[in-house]
Structure 1
Amino acid sequence: LTEDKHNKNPLKMLESLGKELISGLLDDFVEKNVLKLEEEEKKKIYDAKLQDKARVLVDSIRQKNQEIYPIKERKDRTRLALIICNTEFDHMPPRNGAALDILGMKQLLEGLGYTVEVEEKLTARDMESVLWKFAAREEHKSSDSTFLVFMSHGILDGICGTMHSEEEPDVLPYDTIFRTFNNRNCLSLKDKPKVIIVQACRGANRGELWVSDSPPALADSFSQSSENLEEDAVYKTHVEKDFIAFCSSTPHNVSWRDIKKGSLFITRLITCFQKYAWCCHLEEVFRKVQQSFEKPNVKAQMPTVERLSMTRYFYLFPGN
């Protein structure tokens, strides 16, 4: 009798564990926004026979696939990312610490499966040329997404090239970025996530002891006492489908760059990707970055999502 009980108990235990595993898995998926299942759907999976649970779960996931951008297998895709960063200028101060931002973003994107192209020391005309060439790359046809990262001085209308001055502007308009990669000019990325990250100054110098990305003529007399920080800010433009832009601050406000550690925005962005990209979709990762700025320390800034026209959730699935 005892032996008979031992023969039966393992099967019951396995069935019980199977139900608990499926239930726990579903709860995790729903909590992380991987799946949005109604209670009726969850009950259907939980009540199914053990041998049918996998099929029922897969069927439920299939029904939800329209809510998630399709991701290609690593062996079948050719993801590309572009980083444009200007650190030295003819008529403006250098962006000290920006080299660390380049290194950090390059390593992050490579870890997410992107082949990263880095371009530096570009005029506005050079930047536009690089964008058009990058948009025309054949690899985008077999890619599932792209990242475009811009780090430079900036003004209200766009990103400054290396020759910019007040007398002779050298500016890449923000509109040019979106126009270059819209569905008319970049068919290879149609219906695919196009993620734009911008770290660029727009606004006045916020203190005599801070090194500003702004032209000196915009400086005011407000004094602060925190060394190693410089300011960057951003500007938003029109929305295009499947775009999301994440900016280092809200419009008309500054953001800060540590000359020894790199920009606060890029540093925290990298940290949040490393911690949350495995379980959170892109918008949720960006929200984690915003939350990291919720309680200001030395200086306050609040990153903002702009031009959100993504119609699905974008999961990066690191390691896939």
Structure 2
Amino acid sequence: IATLLQIEAGPPESAESTNTFRLCLHEEFLRQCKEKHEEIYLIKERKDHRHLALIICNIKFDHLPPRNGAYVDITGMKGLLQGLGYSVVEEKNLTARDMESVLRASAARPEHKSSDSTFLVLMSHGIQGGICGMAHDEENPDVLLYDTIFQIFNNRNCLSLRDKPKVIIVQACRGANCGDLWVSSSPASLAVTSSQSPENLEADPVCKIHIEKDFIAFCSSIPHNVSWRDSIRGSIFIVELITCLQKYPWCCHQVEVFHK
């Protein structure tokens, strides 16, 4: 995945923004674009284009418990994206089919032609392979597969975003495990044996060129594990993500912000 340099372009101003964002100086923006044009995506100034972002958040479900605190996530993410210059479309409480329809409509928006990137934020209950629609239950799954999201926005199906960064944020469980472990502070406890040690790894002689390109996806949990949400403050992942994207966009690449 190529690196997305997340620098806010605008008129010269102090390093500290008047809002909660710390933005880089306009002169620094121009310098980075000139010196690193072969390493970063094309970044357009706000006056030259219109960013689009999509938030889908399922809160109420037919058969699953409500996601209390999710409204806080919507407010926080919407404010964050608007602060970064995106026009935000917000959708709530959709089935998997409706989510897919909304994603396809978003991918077809003509504004992407003059834009330089997009954000997709999906928040719901989830399973390992996808995101639950509001009608989901175990006997009658209602799931939007992760593969479907990438297919809709790939270079074959979304020409307007070809060679442009597509940032996907997912707040959803991907299993039932808690994802924690009790360990000893002894150095001996750090020794791990694995069937995937370097001696056991082999290189496949086939090289593929992917249709899915220029994506960066950040999920709130790894496969098989749950994702935590506070019923008052919102999802822990979303809270921390917003904090870092407000604090570091002036000096860090997108991937580096995620590492924070």
TM bin, normalised by shorter chain, reads: 0.7 to 0.9
Of the three residues 53, 61, 75, the one matched with 1:81 is: 53
Query: What per-residue deviation string (whole Å, max 9, x for no partner) do you get for residues 157-176 of structure 1?
Result: 21111101111111111111
Deviation by residue 1:61-101 (Cα, 9 ceiling, x = unmatched) = 74531101111111111100000000000000000001100
Q: Distance in 1 between matches of 2:151 and 2:88?
A: 21
Unpaired runs of at least 5, structure 1 = 1-31, 35-53, 207-237, 289-320
Q: Distance in 2 between matches of 1:264 and 1:185?
A: 33
Partner of residue 239 from structure 2, selected from 267, 270, 291: 267
Give runs of aligned pairs for residues 88-103 of structure 1, distance below 5 A.
Answer: 88-103=60-75
Confirm or deny: 8 A CA contact 2:173 2:225 kept in the other structure: no
> 1: distance between equivalents of 2:135 and 2:211?
29
Q: Which of structures 1 and 2 has the larger relative contact order (alpha carbons within 8 angstroms, sep 6+)?
A: 2
> Residues of 2 paired with 1:82 and 1:147: CA distance?
6
Q: For residue 144 of structure 1, what is the aligned residue in structure 2?
A: 116
1:33–1:142 distance in 2 versus 1, CA, 3 Å: closer
Taking a change above 3 Å as real, the CA distance of residues 154 and 126 of structure 1, as seen in their structure-2 partners, is same
Aligned equivalent of 1:218 = none
The one-letter code matched in structure 2 to 1:256 is W
Matched, 1:165 2:137: yes
2:102 aligned with 1:116, yes or no?
A: no
Structure 2 residue matching 1:67: 3-state secondary structure: coil
Distance in 2 of aligned mates of 1:99 and 1:239:
35
Q: Summarize deviations over 1:121-169 as a string: whole Å, max 9, x none.
A: 1001100000000000000001000000010011122111110111111
Q: Which runs of 5+ in 2 are unaligned?
A: 8-26, 179-209
The one-letter code of the counterpart of 1:178 is F
CA distance, structure 1, for counterparts of residue 61 and residue 222 of structure 2: 25
**Aligned to 1:126, which of 87, 98, 110?**
98
Relative to the length of structure 2, the TM-score reads 0.74
May I ask how many residue pairs the two structures share in their alignment?
204
In 2, the alpha carbon distance for the partners of 1:240 and 1:122 equals: 25
In structure 2, the CA distance between the partners of 1:176 and 1:100, relative to structure 1 (3 Å rule), is same
The answer to whether structure 1 residue 185 and structure 2 residue 146 are counterparts is no
How far apart are the structure 2 equivalents of 1:267 and 1:33? Answer: 19
Distance 1:284 1:71 in 2: 18
Q: What is the aligned partner in structure 1 of residue 41 from structure 2?
A: 69
- What is the alpha-carbon distance in structure 1 between the residues aligned to residue 223 and residue 126 of structure 2? 12
Give distance in 1, aligned partners of 2:258 and 2:167: 11
Identity among equivalent positions (%) equals: 72
Could you give the per-residue CA deviations for residues 287-311 of structure 1, whole angstroms, max 9, x where no partner exists? 11xxxxxxxxxxxxxxxxxxxxxxx
Q: Distance in 2 between matches of 1:152 and 1:278?
A: 30
The match for 2:147 is 175
CA distance in 2, matches of 1:61, 1:144: 13
The letter of the residue matching 1:148 is L
Q: Could you tell me which amino acid in structure 2 is paired with residue 196 of structure 1? A: I
1:33–1:89 distance in 2 versus 1, CA, 3 Å: closer
Aligned position for 1:155: 127
Q: Structure 1 residue 255: deviation in Å?
A: 2.4
Tell me the amino acid that sits aligned with residue 145 of structure 1.
S
Q: Give secondary structure in 2 for the equivalent of 1:266.
A: helix
- Partners of 1:264 and 1:81 in 2: CA distance: 21
* Higher relative helix content: 1
Answer yes or no: is 1:243 the counterpart of 2:222: no
CA distance in 2, matches of 1:128, 1:33: 28
- Alpha-carbon displacement from aligned partner over 1:12-59 (angstroms, at most 9, x marks no partner): xxxxxxxxxxxxxxxxxxxx999xxxxxxxxxxxxxxxxxxx9xx96x
TM-score of the aligned structures, taking structure 1 as reference length: 0.60
Instruction: Report how far residue 281 of structure 1 moved.
Output: 1.0
RMSD of equivalent CA atoms = 2.3
